[in-house]
Chains A and B, each alone.
Chain A
Amino acid sequence: MRATYLWILQLITGALIAILLGIHLALMHLDDTLGAGGEATGWTAMINRAGDGLFAALYIALLAVGLYHGINGLRGIVLETSPSPRTERIINWTSLVLGIIVFAGAAYVPVALLVS
């Protein structure tokens, strides 16, 4: 049953990534073309985004769904190479721990920049 829920979540996060990433790419591209703050990856544009709570929310949401989808996908691929039961447990726990650590580490940045 657990595998069923993980798979359903993979579908849901896939759909969410398509939407959120589309928004992210569109916003970055519009920044480049309409050029409100200059080049989208320039320092001034990044400062502007860092102060905006909506951007922080977008980034954290995209981070969560993207990390889940990617790490669960990689875990699925690795588990299909016939590991032993002990190796399977190690892979599962490593995926979970890696996901939590990377999420915590990467979500810290927009939050810290927002409150500073």
Chain B
Amino acid sequence: MTEESRKQVTFKVQRYDPEKDIKPYFQEFKVPSSRGTTILDGLLHIKETTDSSLTFRASCRMAICGSCGMLINDYPHLACHSQIEEFKTDTITLKPMPNLPIIKDLVCDMTPFFAKHRTVKPYIIRSDAEEMANPSTTYAQKPAELSDYLQFTYCIKCGICVSSCPTSASDSHFLGPQAMAQCYRYCADSRDDGQEERLPTVSGDHGAWNCHLAGACSEACPKGLDPALAIQLLKRRLTARALGIGREQEPSSLAPPPTGIKDKVPFPEFTVKG
């Protein structure tokens, strides 16, 4: 078996301990890297062998939990989803995601991020309170209606889009691409009837009108969600509503009860007897 070539790569990690440091500084570590080693593998290696005080978030190591977002060589990536070899350089610079407050080292405070998400009411809203409290059955939705918003349901709330957005860089009250894409995801969902409740938040100051289609959010999104498309479609909705054009769509009705039950198929004969 041939030995995989292992080489040493330098990780320049931004360190910041709020209890000891006044401002962040860089610290260099040497990390062994071979084919397939991810940035997260490198960070875990540092934590296990060199400096156990290195602080970062990680959980699933498969780009589904959204914990490990960070700035890798000045571009926001998920650490678990980025291989050291793909950067084609021997020095990797790691910084926490910009536009979110830093707690320590590479860990960002996601509280304002989640607070903005909550303001757009990211859940199905119907006028029938009884059905919402005690659901009797599912809502009917055609596959065509699902494909209208399916792409925007894959959000893992990693915060990479907010780190890329130029408006989020300067405007702390801006809702951010994540919150507005999720607002569109619920407004476009045919089962939802809560558009009126969400629109004042998103069409007011620091809402959708401060998005200027830089497209950096969609470019950097690790799940291919395209928040920029969601926000422009949201602007289309807001404009149509303000001008009074476009059809109002009825929300989905409850799925009808099954009309019949197929006959039970007889149990197959055992192949091994006795």
Query: Which listed residue, A3, A5, A8, A80, touches B171 by the CB 8 Å rule?
Result: A80
Interface size on A, residues (CB 8 A): 13
Q: Which of B194-213 contact A (CB under 8 A)?
A: 200, 203-207, 209-210
Q: Are B243 and A3 in contact (CB under 8 A)?
A: no
Report whether over half of chain A's contact residues are helix, strand or loop; otherwise say mixed. helix
Query: Which listed residue, A8, A79, A82, touches B243 by the CB 8 Å rule?
Result: A8
Q: In the complex, which residues of chain A have a beta carbon less than 8 angstroms from the beta carbon of B243?
A: 8
Q: Give the interface size bracket for B toward A.
A: 10 to 19
Q: Are A81 and B207 in contact (CB under 8 A)?
A: no
Report the nearest B residue to A11, measured CB to CB. B239
Query: Which listed residue, B170, B174, B209, touches A3 by the CB 8 Å rule?
Result: B209
Query: Which listed residue, A1, A80, A88, touches B210 by the CB 8 Å rule?
Result: A80
Closest CB-CB distance, B65 to chain A, in whole Å?
Answer: 30
Q: Are B242 and A82 in contact (CB under 8 A)?
A: no
- Give the distance in Å from the alpha carbon of A5 to the alpha carbon of B204 in the complex: 11
When A5-B242, A7-B209 are in contact, do A81 and B203 touch as well, CB less than 8 Å?
no
> Residues on B close to A: CB < 8 A?
167, 170-174, 200, 203-207, 209-210, 238-239, 242-243
Q: 5 A-B contacts, Cβ less than 8 Å apart?
A: A1-B203, A4-B242, A5-B242, A79-B206, A88-B205
